[in-house]
Amino acid sequence: MQLAKARGKQDEFLGLAFRTNFAEERSVYAHETLVEIAVEAGLDADEVRAVLADPDAYADEVRSDEREAAELGANGVPFFVLDRRYGVSGGQPAELFTQALEQAWEARA
């Protein structure tokens, strides 16, 4: 995901990963499946394999994402982030999402 983000392909990669995992019911944890998804998203297969083989590749970015999630209160899934400032944890009623979205919108004004 971090490589896709760095190459401007994060949305494409994430959509394909969701499709693969949920619609096709194929695990996205196998390296070659990740390579396949990444190539379909527009990334270079050799670069993807190199990143997957290097345990330190993008480690700082991942730790930063983990810190940000913890600061927002994420401790499970699903977890929704609104305007990079507000978090909604778990499956919540539509009214709570509406309230959170309105709060985030008002805070931007």
Instruction: Identify whether residues 52 and 16 lie together within a single domain.
Output: yes
In a domain, residue 80? The reply is yes
Same domain, 79 and 52: no
Q: Enter the pTM of the model.
A: 0.77
Does residue 33 sit in the same domain as residue 76?
no
In a domain, 64, yes or no: no
Shared domain check, 50 and 6: yes
In three-state secondary structure terms, 59 is helix
Please check the confidence at residue 21 and state whether its pLDDT lies above 90.
yes
Mean of the per-residue pLDDT values of the chain: 94
10 and 52 fall within a common domain: yes
26 and 49 together in one domain: yes
Band (pLDDT 50/70/90 cuts) for residue 86 is confident
Indicate whether 8 and 43 sit together in one domain: yes
Using CB atoms within 10 A of its CB, is residue 34 exposed (0-12), middle (13-18) or buried (19+)?
Answer: buried
Q: Phi and psi (nearest 5°) for 29? A: -90, -10
Whole-angstrom distance, CA of residue 68 vs CA of residue 87: 11
Domains identified in the chain, total number:
2
Looking at the structure, tell me whether residues 53 and 76 fall in a common domain: no
One-letter identity of residue 45: A
CA 67 to chain centre: 14
Q: Note down the domain range covering 104.
A: 72-108
83 belongs to a structural domain: yes
Looking at the fold, whether 48 and 7 belong to one and the same domain comes out as yes
**Cα separation of 105 and 92, whole Å?**
19
